[in-house]
């Protein structure tokens, strides 16, 4: 499509409707227009247009040539259009749900007294790690005082870059013990806000694959909270061949959705202060997400069912075509075999008449003597056994023609 043609379209149809028609989302179409310096209608343009107060379109800036813009290939357009439409529906549902949620000011508690059971269990998990780290530090100091190597630096917990990954029944957190008190108090405030917004919090999964589902309005989402850390660079020590890597916790955190939310990519990152300031926004969004997730799951299931139906119909069409081709092949084979059938009957007909001639000659030879009785008996026996093959063919053809289905050799 040429640049001038796309310019004409974007001023005739809203981007949210035009994008899916072209196999793009409204955001993707907007980016495409910016890349080619194509002006798009400003906010409120279509509202004024619907109210009978249309505005003049922004003129298309001059260019050296009317560039050709590559759009998604025709084979991919339908799929992308369906995806874009689905994403648009999910985004609209999310926006409506979020706009309808009023979140009261949320304060981070100063302690974990009377906290949510998930928070309490996660706190016990990290307290056991703190005790383990303290014991390991004492053992290391004791080994250093005795001048012997220390080999007790390996933990049985799942770790990633010096951070511990919680076990089943806990919140999904990847963090060190340095800032765990604030992290847990942050989660306690978040869970209180979610529960007040009508969400149900359910823990599932085992070991490091534990998950926490946030359920509401028939939908479910999962959260993953991670504390950021950096590796401590140490100069190599003489005589030490291996030294475990050490990491330093940073004042940087990330809270994100675990499920595929490409329709509404969402994660929150920032320092402790920034995350606390954004807590109401985060809570409001998380309350709205499950409702949009329910719609997304429904649309994905409907699309999967439709694709399965299309595959079934395609398989059925292939089976019908294969059966038809097999039937045609059988008909061709049956028609081709009729000549051999006729030749066989013709050969049998010649044998039939030769036998008749032979019997007639034998009757002439046989007399009325008593010793000729055997000849007459044998001649009678053979005559009774003889059948005209042409009459047999005629009877067979009549039977085949009288059958409910036409014989395979019958012309189509």
What pLDDT, in 10s, does the model give residues 342-392? 999 999 999 999 999 999 999 888 878 788 889 999 999 999 999 999 999
Task: Give the DSSP letter of residue 233.
Answer: P
Q: Domain for residue 89, yes or no?
A: yes
Examine the pLDDT at 208 and tell me if it is beyond 60.
Answer: no
User: Across the strands, what pairs with 202?
Assistant: 213
Say whether both 126 and 65 belong to one domain: no
Domain finish residue from 73, 99, 125: 99
Task: Give the DSSP letter of residue 405.
Answer: S
Say whether both 57 and 199 belong to one domain: no
Helix/strand/coil for 248: strand
Highest mean pLDDT among 115-129, 148-162, 212-226, 283-297: 115-129
Say whether both 91 and 235 belong to one domain: no
Say whether both 94 and 122 belong to one domain: no
Q: Are 246 and 229 in contact (CB under 8 A)?
A: no
Q: Rounded mean pLDDT of the chain?
A: 86
Say whether both 32 and 83 belong to one domain: yes
Q: What is the pLDDT of residues 240-268, one digit of tens each?
A: 556 677 899 999 999 988 765 554 557 89
- Give residue 185's pLDDT band: very low, low, confident or very high (50, 70, 90): very high
Examine the pLDDT at 205 and tell me if it is beyond 80.
Answer: no
pLDDT score, position 22: 83
Examine the pLDDT at 141 and tell me if it is beyond 90.
Answer: no
Q: What is the pLDDT of residues 38-77, one digit of tens each?
A: 999 998 888 888 778 888 899 999 888 888 888 876 555 5
Pairs from 336-340 (Cβ < 8 Å, separation ≥ 24): 337/409, 338/409
Examine the pLDDT at 395 and tell me if it is beyond 80.
Answer: yes
Examine the pLDDT at 101 and tell me if it is beyond 60.
Answer: yes
Task: Give the DSSP letter of residue 44.
Answer: T
Containing structural domain, residue 246: 117-277
pLDDT score, position 80: 58
Query: Could you tell me what percent of the chain has a pLDDT over 70?
Result: 91
Position with higher pLDDT, 95 vs 345: 345
Say whether both 129 and 260 belong to one domain: yes
Examine the pLDDT at 85 and tell me if it is beyond 90.
Answer: no
Highest mean pLDDT among 84-93, 199-208, 216-225, 347-356: 347-356
Say whether both 191 and 235 belong to one domain: yes
pLDDT score, position 81: 60
> Alpha carbon of 301 to those of 82, 153, 259, 294: distances in Å?
13, 48, 16, 11
Q: Cα separation of 225 and 182, whole Å?
A: 13
- Give residue 174's pLDDT band: very low, low, confident or very high (50, 70, 90): very high
Q: Are 91 and 263 in contact (CB under 8 A)?
A: yes
Highest mean pLDDT among 67-76, 99-108, 180-189, 401-410: 180-189
pLDDT score, position 76: 53
Examine the pLDDT at 305 and tell me if it is beyond 80.
Answer: yes
- Asked which of 46-60, 146-160, 298-312, 321-335 is least confident by mean pLDDT, the reply is 146-160
3-state helix, strand, coil in the chain (%, to 5): 55, 10, 30
pLDDT score, position 219: 86
Say whether both 182 and 68 belong to one domain: no
Say whether both 207 and 148 belong to one domain: yes
- Asked which of 69-73, 234-238, 287-291, 333-337 is least confident by mean pLDDT, the reply is 234-238
Q: Domain for residue 27, yes or no?
A: yes
Say whether both 252 and 124 belong to one domain: yes
> Total structural domains in the chain?
3
Query: Could you tell me what percent of the chain has a pLDDT over 90?
Result: 43
pLDDT score, position 399: 92
Predicted TM-score (pTM) of this structure: 0.60
Say whether both 155 and 268 belong to one domain: yes
- Residue 307 corresponds to which tokens in the numbers above? 């694709």
Q: Domain for residue 136, yes or no?
A: yes
> Alpha carbon of 198 to those of 187, 216, 223, 281, 284: distances in Å?
17, 7, 17, 16, 11
């Amino acid at each position: 499509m040429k640049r001038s043609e796309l310019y004409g379209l974007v001023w005739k149809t809203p981007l949210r409707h035009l994008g899916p028609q072209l196999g793009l989302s409204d955001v993707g179409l907007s980016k495409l227009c910016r890349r080619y310096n194509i002006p798009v209608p400003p906010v409120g343009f279509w509202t004024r247009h619907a109210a009978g107060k249309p505005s003049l379109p922004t003129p298309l800036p001059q260019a050296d040539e009317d560039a050709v813009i590559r759009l998604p290939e025709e084979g991919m357009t339908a799929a992308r259009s369906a995806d874009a439409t689905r994403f648009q529906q999910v985004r609209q549902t999310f926006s409506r749900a979020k706009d309808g949620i009023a979140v009261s000011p949320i304060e981070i508690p100063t302690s974990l007294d009377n906290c949510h059971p998930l928070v309490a269990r996660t706190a016990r998990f990290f307290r056991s790690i703190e005790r383990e780290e303290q014991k390991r530090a004492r053992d290391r100091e004791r080994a250093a005082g005795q001048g012997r190597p220390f080999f007790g630096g390996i933990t049985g917990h799942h770790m990633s870059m010096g951070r511990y990954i919680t076990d089943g029944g806990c919140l999904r957190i990847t963090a060190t013990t340095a800032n765990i008190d604030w992290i847990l108090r942050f989660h306690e405030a978040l869970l209180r806000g979610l529960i007040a917004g009508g969400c149900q919090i359910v823990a599932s999964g085992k070991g490091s694959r534990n998950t926490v589902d946030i359920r509401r309005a028939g939908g479910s989402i999962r959260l993953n909270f991670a504390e950021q850390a950096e590796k401590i660079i140490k100069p190599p020590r003489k005589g030490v061949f291996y030294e475990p890597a050490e990491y330093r916790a940073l004042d940087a955190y990330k809270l994100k959705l675990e499920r595929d939310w490409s329709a509404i990519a969402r994660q929150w990152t920032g320092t402790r202060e920034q995350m606390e300031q954004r807590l109401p926004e985060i809570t409001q969004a998380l309350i709205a997400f499950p409702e949009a997730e329910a719609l997304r799951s429904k649309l994905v299931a409907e699309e999967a069912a439709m694709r399965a139906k299309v595959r079934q119909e395609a398989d059925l069409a292939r089976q019908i075509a294969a059966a038809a081709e097999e039937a045609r092949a059988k008909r061709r084979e049956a028609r081709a075999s009729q000549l051999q059938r006729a030749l066989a009957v013709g050969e049998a007909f010649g044998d039939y008449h030769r036998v008749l001639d032979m019997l007639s000659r034998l009757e002439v030879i046989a007399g009325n003597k008593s010793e000729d009785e055997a000849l007459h008996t044998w001649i009678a026996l053979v005559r009774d056994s003889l059948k005209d093959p042409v009459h047999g063919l005629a009877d067979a053809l009549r039977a085949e023609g009288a059958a409910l289905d036409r014989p395979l050799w019958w012309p189509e």
